[in-house]
Structures are given as C-alpha cells and as structure tokens.
Amino acid sequence: MTKRELSQLYWLNREIEEQQRRLDELESLATSCTSRITGMPRSKGLVDRLAIYTAEIADLRGLIDLNIKKCFYELNRLNRYINGIKDSQIRMILSLRYINGMTWQQIAFSIGEHDEQFPRRKHNDFLKHSLEE
C-alpha cells in the first residue's frame, strides 16, 4: 500500500471538518435572518434566500453523511492492512500515524523514542520494501 493510499483517512477527516465548518456557516446565515416586523411589507428576497440556504444545508448534510460512511470504510480497510503486518512496531507506527493522525514527534514519544526521525525512517523503509515485493 502506498503512502497516498494510507493517507486517505486523514484527508477524508479534513474534508469532513471543512464541510462541517461550511455547514455551521450556512446554518448561521439561515438563522440570522431577521424576523418580519408586524405591519411591514414582506420581502420576497428574504424568503428566497432562506430557501436557498435550506437546500444547500440539506445537500451539505448529505455529503457529510456520505464522507462519514467513507471514513468507516477507510478505517476498516486500514485496520485490515495494518493488522496483516508481522512487525508489531511497524503496526504501531502505522496505526499512530494513519489512524490516530499523530505527528512523527508524537509517534516517537509513544514508542519510547526521542528522535522523530526514528519512526519516520522505519515507516519509509517499510513502505519502500513493501512496494518492492
């Protein structure tokens, strides 16, 4: 498996975060519309804008749900791949990096090392050799 394939869960999570931020923004815009003042004429533009936000919000919620399902699929795929690796240290490094999303420094501390280059080198060597096979 390539580094790009291993990173898909990370990028899906970032995509969901961005979509959630956009959803929050749209919901804020949709709910911040001022209510109608009694005796004042209705503005057709306000109603149309609210309808547009409602449609966008529904679409975005659908996309977020779809991406969450993709995340579960990707998580299961990663776990199956990682659990098939014989070296327990490599399994731990890959899990911490691609499932937990840790930095190389955090991974180094988690496996009892101080140099972030140690887990990075082990990771790169493993991927290099697994691609050659």
Contact 94, 79 (CB under 8 A): no
Contact 122, 89 (CB under 8 A): yes
- Examine the pLDDT at 96 and tell me if it is beyond 90: yes
pTM metric for this prediction: 0.77
Alpha-carbon dihedral sign for residues 68, 73, 76, 78:
negative
In the chain, % of residues over pLDDT 90: 71
pLDDT at 49: 67
- What's the burial of 31, exposed, middle or buried (CB within 10 Å: 0-12/13-18/19+)? exposed
CA nearest to 94, candidates 128, 130, 131, 119: 119
- Examine the pLDDT at 82 and tell me if it is beyond 90: yes
Q: What angle do CA 117, 89, 130 make, to 5 degrees?
A: 80
> How far is Cα 100 from Cα 98, in angstroms, rounded to an integer?
6
pLDDT at 130: 85
Query: Which of 8-12, 26-30, 69-73, 110-114 comes out lowest in average pLDDT?
Result: 26-30
85-133 domain in CATH 1.20.1440? Answer: no
pLDDT at 43: 56
Contact 43, 9 (CB under 8 A): no
Q: How far apart are the first and last CA of the chain?
A: 11
Non-local CB neighbours of 118 within 8 Å, separated by 6+ positions: 108, 111
pLDDT digits (tens, 9 = 90+) for 115-131: 999 999 999 999 998 87
Instruction: Tell me the pLDDT of the chain averaged across its residues.
Output: 88
Confidence of residue 50 (pLDDT cuts 50, 70, 90): confident
Counting every residue written for the chain, the total comes to 133
pLDDT digits (tens, 9 = 90+) for 8-44: 999 999 999 999 999 999 888 887 755 555 555 555 5
